[in-house]
Amino acid sequence: MPAARESLLDAAGRALAHRPWSTVRMVDVAAAAGVSRQTLYNEFGSKDGLARALMRREADGYLAGVERALTGHADPRDRLAATAEWTATAARGNALVRAMLTGSWTERLPEPARPGVPSTSAV
C-alpha cells in the first residue's frame, strides 16, 4: 500500500508542523490521510513506527538533495558550496532535518530511537 503509506507520512508531517509530536494522535493522522486507524497500525505498527518512518523519509529526502548537489557540479569547490547551500536550506525549512543534523531535539519532535531505551511517545 505505497499510496496509503505516503499519505500517512504526509499527514503525520502536516500534523507535526502544527503541534508537538506528543499531542499528535494516530486517529487524527489516519483521518487526515483518508484511511482507517487500523490501516495506519498495519503500515507502521505503532506511533513509534510512524515516527521512525517519518524521520527516515525526511533523512532520505535530505540525502537525495546532497547527492543532487554533489553530482550537479564538476568542481569540488562548487560541490561543497552547493552541498552547504542545500544543507542550510533543508535545515531551515524542516525541523526534523534540522534536529537530525544538529542533534538538537525539542519536545515538539518525535524522539529518535536509542537502543535499549524505551520510547515515551507511545499512544
Q: Concatenate the DSSP letters of all residues of 37-66 into one string.
A: HHHHHHHHSSHHHHHHHHHHHHHHHHHHHH
Distances from the Cα of 103 to the Cα of 38, 45, 95, 99, angstroms: 33, 26, 11, 5
Sign of the Cα pseudo-torsion (66, 72, 77, 78, in order)? negative
pLDDT of residue 116: 54
Query: pTM for the whole thing?
Result: 0.83
Instruction: For 24-57, write each residue's pLDDT tens digit.
Output: 999 999 999 999 999 999 999 999 999 999 999 9
Q: Is residue 113 situated within a structural domain?
A: no
Q: How many domains does the chain have?
A: 1
Q: What is the CATH number of the domain that holds 92?
A: 1.10.357.10
Range of the domain at 61: 2-102
pLDDT of residue 40: 97
Q: Is residue 123 situated within a structural domain?
A: no
Q: Is residue 121 situated within a structural domain?
A: no
Average confidence (pLDDT) over 96-112: 88
Residue 123, pLDDT > 70, answer no
Confidence category of residue 115, pLDDT binned at 50, 70, 90: low
Residue 118, pLDDT > 80, answer no
pLDDT of residue 85: 97
